[in-house]
Chains A and B, each alone.
Chain A
Amino acid sequence: MTEHAVAELPVANAPIPAAEPRVAVHSLDAYFGAQRVVRGATVDFNEGQVTAIIGPSGCGKSTLLRCLNRMHETVPTARVEGEVLLDGRDIYAREVNAIQVRRRIGMVFQRPTPFPTMSIRDNVVAGLRADGRKAPSRAEQDEIAVWALQRAALWDEVKDRLRDSALALSGGQQQRLCIARALATKPRVLLLDEPTASLDPLSTQKVEELVYELRGEVTIVMVTHNMQQAARVSDRTAFMLHGELVEVAPTSRLFTTPGDERTEAYITGRFG
C-alpha cells in the first residue's frame, strides 16, 4: 500500500472483484502481553454490508475490531498475529503505514470524541490533515465537510452554526459528528465500537438509521452489547465467546435459528 494509491481513491468504495470480501481476517490472534484475547479468528466482512459483533463483556470483540485498523497495536504490550486483508492486501505487511490504514478504515468509539477546541466544521475535516500530507484547499475542505455532514445525517441540524464549538452539540449529535469525521476521509470500511452505548434512545435511533443508510456505500463492522440493535441494523452477525468467533451467520438466521448451542444459550440468556 502506498501513499499515492491512497491519495487517488476517488470514492468511498472503489469496485472490488465480485464475491470478494472487503476485509478478510485469517487466523487472527491478538495479545495483551502473554494473554491471548482473540483466538484464531477467521471471518470475512462483505462489501457494503453491516456486520455486527456480539458477545459478553471481555470476549474480545472490541479487540478484534481494533485489530481491523491497527488500533490494537497502539496499546503497549499489544500485538497481533495472523492476517487482515483489505481488498486482498495485508494491512499488517511491513511496508504498510498504520495511519494510511486508518484513513481507509475509519473508527467511531463508544463515547463521542470531538476535538474540544475545534469548531464543528474543523472537526469534520480534521482527519484530512492527519497524515501530514498536503491538506486540501479550504474550498475543498468546505465541500467535503458538507458532504460528510449530509452523509452523517447531521447537516440540517448544524448547517447554520458550523463555526460553533463541537461541544455545543448534544451527545447524539457529537456521535454523528464523529461519524462525519470518519466519513470525511472517504474510508472503505467504518468500524463502530458500541457507537450508541452512551446515547439516549432517540439519538440511538438516529445513529442506527444512519448505519442503515450507509450500508451499500461503506462496509461497516459494529461491536454492540445490544442484541436488538444488532438484529435491527446488521446484515450478518458474529458471536464471540472467550476470544473465539463461535458463529458468523446472516442476522435473520442467527437470531431465529442459531447453528451453535453456545450462540443459542447467549442470545436467549441461558448463558453460563
Chain B
Amino acid sequence: MTTETTSGFRHFHDQLGALKQRLLAMSARAEELVELSVDALLTQDVGKAQAVIEADREIDQQELEVEQLTVELLALQQPMAKDLRFLISTIKVTSDLERVGDHAVNIAQSVLRMHALPTHVTPEPSIAEMARRARSMLADALDAFVRGDGALGRDVCKRDDVVDALHDSLFRVMLTHMMGDPRTINPSLELLLVSRNLERVADLATNIGEDAVFLAEGKQIKHHAEQARQ
C-alpha cells in the first residue's frame, strides 16, 4: 500500500468519524423532540407543542446533509467490509431518525387538537413510561450503531416487546374509558394516537438496533432472518 493511499484512507476515516458525530447530533435532537412533545402533552403546554413542530425542519435538514455526505463517501471512497456496511446502514438510520422527528410532530399535533377539545382526560402514567423507554431505546440503539456494539443492538431489539405491551395495555384502558363515558372518546383517541406514535418510535429504535448488529457482525436479524437461517 502506498503512502498516498494510506493518507487517502486516513482522510476517509476522518470523514466517517464526522459522519458519526452528525448522526449522534441528529439522534440527540430527535430524542429531545420526543421528550418535548410528551412534556407538552403532560403539561398541556401548547407553546412546547408548537416548538416541536417548528424544530422538525432541523431534523429534515440534517437528514439531507447526512444523506449527501454518505452518498459522496460511497461514490468517492468505494468502501469495503465494515465501512461499506456502515454507510449503507447510515442511510437507513438517518431515514429512521427523520421518522422519529415526524412522530414527535404527530404527538405535538395531538396536543394541539386536545387543547381545542371541550373535554379533557388525564394522560395515563404509562404514556410517560412508554416515552421514557422509547427514548432510552433510541439512545442505546444509536450508541450501539456508532460504536459497532452488536450485543447492545440485540438488547435494544428485545426491549421493544415491553413498549408494545404498554401500548396494548393502554389501548384496553382507553377503550374502557370511552365505553364508560362517550364524552371522552375524542381525547382518548388522541391519547391512543400518542401511544401509537411512541410505539412506532420504539420500532424505529429497534430498526437501528438491527442495523447495529448488521454493522458489527455482518448478520441480518430483521424479519427474524437469523432464526430462519438456523
In chain A between 226 and 272, which residues have their CB closer than 8 angstroms to a CB of chain B?
Answer: 227-228, 231, 255-258, 263-264, 267-271
Roughly how many angstroms separate A228 CA and B81 CA in the complex, as a whole number?
12
Count, chain A residues at interface, CB 8 A: 16
Q: Which residues of A contact B79 (CB under 8 A)?
A: 268
A-B contact pairs, 11 of them (CB 8 A): A56-B1, A256-B80, A256-B218, A257-B218, A264-B81, A264-B82, A267-B80, A268-B83, A269-B5, A269-B10, A270-B13
Roughly how many angstroms separate A128 CA and B83 CA in the complex, as a whole number?
48
Q: Which residues of B contact A269 (CB under 8 A)?
A: 1, 5-6, 8-10, 12-13
Q: Does A57 contact B (CB under 8 A)?
A: yes
Q: Which residues of A contact B218 (CB under 8 A)?
A: 256-257
Q: Which residues of A contact B80 (CB under 8 A)?
A: 227, 231, 255-256, 267-268
Roughly how many angstroms separate A268 CA and B81 CA in the complex, as a whole number?
7
Q: Which residues of A contact B12 (CB under 8 A)?
A: 269
Q: Which residues of B contact A270 (CB under 8 A)?
A: 9, 13
Q: Does B99 contact A (CB under 8 A)?
A: no
Given pairs A228-B78, A268-B79, 14 additional interface contacts (CB within 8 A): A255-B80, A255-B81, A257-B85, A263-B81, A264-B82, A267-B80, A267-B81, A268-B9, A268-B83, A269-B5, A269-B6, A269-B10, A269-B13, A270-B9
Q: Does B128 contact A (CB under 8 A)?
A: no
Min Cβ gap B103→A in Å is 32
Please state if A255 and B84 are interface contacts (CB–CB under 8 Å).
yes
Q: Output the nearest chain A residue to B80 by Cβ-Cβ distance.
A: A267
Q: Which residues of B contact A57 (CB under 8 A)?
A: 1
Min Cβ gap A134→B in Å is 49
Roughly how many angstroms separate A12 CA and B78 CA in the complex, as a whole number?
36
Question: Chain B contact residues (Cβ within 8 angstroms of A): what range?
Answer: 10 to 19
Min Cβ gap A42→B in Å is 24
In chain A between 109 and 160, which residues have their CB closer than 8 angstroms to a CB of chain B?
Answer: none
Min Cβ gap A260→B in Å is 11
Q: Output the nearest chain B residue to A227 by Cβ-Cβ distance.
A: B80
Q: Which residues of A contact B6 (CB under 8 A)?
A: 269
Q: Which residues of B contact A255 (CB under 8 A)?
A: 80-81, 84
In chain A between 12 and 58, which residues have their CB closer than 8 angstroms to a CB of chain B?
Answer: 56-57
Question: What are the interface flags for B76-110 relative to A under an 8 Å C-beta threshold, 1 for contact and 0 otherwise?
Answer: 00111111110000000000000000000000000
Q: Output the nearest chain A residue to B79 by Cβ-Cβ distance.
A: A268
Min Cβ gap B92→A in Å is 16
Interface centre among B5, B6, B78, B82 (most CB of A within 10 A): B82
Question: Which 9 A-B pairs have CB atoms at the shortest separation, nearest pair first?
Answer: A269-B9, A257-B218, A267-B80, A268-B83, A255-B80, A56-B1, A264-B81, A268-B81, A267-B81
